[in-house]
Amino acid sequence: MSADSRKRIALLGHPVSHSISPRFQQAALDALGIAATYEAWDTPPEDVPIAVERLRSGDLLGANVTVPHKVAVMRLVDRPDALAERVGAVNTVVNRNGLLEATNTDVAGILRTFEGAQVPLAGKQIALIGAGGAARAVVVAMRQAGA
């Protein structure tokens, strides 16, 4: 498959130049034989609506969303799932023939991190510093875990 016919996946955030995500995501795509390129889109906040519209393009499979856009993108997609609605932020967008569906995988990642470290959360009091999209996911995860 030529590079011109490959599908694309974006990392949408600002700034993103420091992110290692494009390297390891591209390596995963290549290892799995998925003909797609993973590219970082450094998107200032004022350009988020334009970037989200670009995700509807036929050659884009979707995007990962990172700081500071998780809340803003949530408001711009067509179908956030129930978890995304509960969190109020998204980090994963899938283009389904121009319809943008979204979810939040941060909650599961947070819970798995604590479970893997064998840190019980039930009944604990949690101090949270932050108020962005990831902080919202922490709140949902902690409630789900009984903290």
Degrees, nearest 5: CA angle 96-29-40: 75
124 classed as catalytic: no
Q: Which member of 8, 14, 69, 70 is catalytic?
A: 70
Residue with tokens 């711009």: 76
φ, ψ dihedrals at 97, nearest 5°: 55, 45
Q: How far apart are CA 118 and CA 109, in angstroms?
A: 14
Show Cβ contacts of residue 133 under 8 Å, excluding neighbours closer than 6 positions: 65, 67, 68, 69, 70, 71, 74, 87, 88, 89, 90, 91, 104, 106
Please return the burial class of 33, using the count of CB atoms within 10 Å of its CB with bins 0-12, 13-18 and 19+. exposed
Q: Looking at the annotation, which residues are catalytic? A: 70
